[in-house]
Amino acid sequence: MSRPTLTELACTVLTTADGREKTHISREAAKTWFASVEAGNPLEIGNSQPPNDPSRPNRPELLPPNEVPRRRTGTEKGRIALLHAIAHIELNAVDLHWDIIPRFAHIKMPHGYFDDWVKAADEESKHFNLLCDRLEAMGSFYGDMPAHAGMWRAAKDTAEDFMGRLAIVPMVLEARGLDVTPGMIDLFKRVKDTKTTEALEIIYAEEVGHVAYGSKWFHFLCGRHDKDPKERFHTLVQTYFSGGLKPPFNDEKRAEAGLPLDFYWPMVREKS
Ligand SMILES: [Fe+2]
Ligand SMILES: [Fe+2]
């Protein structure tokens, strides 16, 4: 029986629309990859082309960021809306981590690079399901309310810039998750929602790894091309993230993930 390539597996995830189905296929793909690695015979990477936009379910309705209703997290309804927004981010993250594999498959990378993104995609799939379970336990579901339309923008902007993709997705966007998640954990602790607190704690712990993978492979490529990592990061953030970065930052977790202070603090745009 012929074996799939890793880029074929990635494209199957990207072209599946339903969230639960996408994450199921994603987790199976991760199992297939790691079983092949453990057997000492990893799947070929291949060269399947990813779609420009991943398939998504008909719902949620996607709205421009300024039209997504504001959340008041003091009410149960507001907390459901917050979990819905995070579930939407997690589903995008599943696609982002699978997309980087075929998108830049023409660039030779060590095996550990593929292991890292497959593991990250598998974890995002788990995160999406944990949040869907919480939404369903609270009488809602993913798709029940509108979500942010701009999430795939970073992927499109960096579709031809490998270092730009690593700088923006894990090292800016996922690092932002490290800044805001402790506040969310506190919010659910205060209302004694233990199950949601536990889900968010799992997510928080695993996201440190994703930022670290970004930093690791960004530094690897800087070494390959004889570039100064800090200068390169600053240039890429200015190119793709012109609004600048917003404090407060979680300096401790960012350090744990291999993001030094002088990478992001100089990128804070002074309010004029
Ligand atoms: Fe996640
Ligand atoms: Fe992540």
Res 150: pLDDT:
85
Q: Measured at the alpha carbon of residue 242, what is the angle toward residues 245 and 254, in degrees to the nearest 5? A: 25
Any idea which ligand is nearest the CA of 129? Answer: 1
Measured CA to CA, the distance from residue 151 to residue 155 in angstroms comes to: 8
Res 256: pLDDT:
98
Measured CA to CA, the distance from residue 261 to residue 87 in angstroms comes to: 29
Q: Are 164 and 238 in contact (CB under 8 A)?
A: no
Which tokens in the block code for residue 3? 């074996």
| Torsions phi, psi for 71 (to 5 deg) | -100, 140
Q: 263: CA distance to ligand 2 center in Å?
A: 19
Residue of 176 and 65 predicted with greater confidence = 176
Rg, the chain, Cα only: 18
Name the pLDDT band for 72 (thresholds 50, 70, 90): confident
Measured CA to CA, the distance from residue 147 to residue 56 in angstroms comes to: 12
Any idea which ligand is nearest the CA of 89? Answer: 1
> Which of 164, 183, 193 lies closest to 86, judged by CA?
183
Q: Measured at the alpha carbon of residue 213, what is the angle toward residues 163 and 32, in degrees to the nearest 5? A: 110
Q: 250: CA distance to ligand 1 center in Å?
A: 17
Q: 100: CA distance to ligand 1 center in Å?
A: 16
Q: Are 147 and 60 in contact (CB under 8 A)?
A: yes
Residue 198: CB atoms within 10 A of its CB come to 14
Q: 107: CA distance to ligand 1 center in Å?
A: 26
Q: Is the pLDDT of residue 159 over 90?
A: yes
Residues with CB under 5 A from ligand 1 (ion): 90, 124, 127
Q: Is the pLDDT of residue 172 over 60?
A: yes
What average pLDDT does the segment 251-260 reach?
Answer: 98
Q: 124: CA distance to ligand 1 center in Å?
A: 4
Q: Are 29 and 118 in contact (CB under 8 A)?
A: yes
What average pLDDT does the segment 103-122 reach?
Answer: 98
Res 269: pLDDT:
84
Measured CA to CA, the distance from residue 166 to residue 21 in angstroms comes to: 27
Q: 1: CA distance to ligand 2 center in Å?
A: 34
Any idea which ligand is nearest the CA of 199? Answer: 1
Q: 120: CA distance to ligand 2 center in Å?
A: 6
Q: 272: CA distance to ligand 1 center in Å?
A: 34
Q: 206: CA distance to ligand 2 center in Å?
A: 7
Q: 225: CA distance to ligand 1 center in Å?
A: 30
Res 1: pLDDT:
61
Q: What is the mean pLDDT of the chain?
A: 96
Q: 200: CA distance to ligand 1 center in Å?
A: 9
Cβ-proximal residues to 40 (8 Å cutoff; 6+ apart), any chain:
none
Q: What is the pLDDT of residues 2-58, one digit of tens each?
A: 899 999 999 999 999 999 999 999 999 999 999 999 999 999 999 999 999 999 999
Q: 211: CA distance to ligand 2 center in Å?
A: 7
Residues with CB under 5 A from ligand 2 (ion): 93, 174, 207, 210
Q: Is the pLDDT of residue 118 over 60?
A: yes
Cross-strand pairs, 245: 268
Residue type (1 letter), 202: I
Any idea which ligand is nearest the CA of 200? Answer: 1
Res 27: pLDDT:
98
Name the pLDDT band for 147 (thresholds 50, 70, 90): very high
> Which of 43, 230, 175, 18 lies closest to 118, judged by CA?
43
Res 271: pLDDT:
61
Determine what percent of the chain is predicted with pLDDT higher than 90.
91
Measured CA to CA, the distance from residue 80 to residue 151 in angstroms comes to: 20
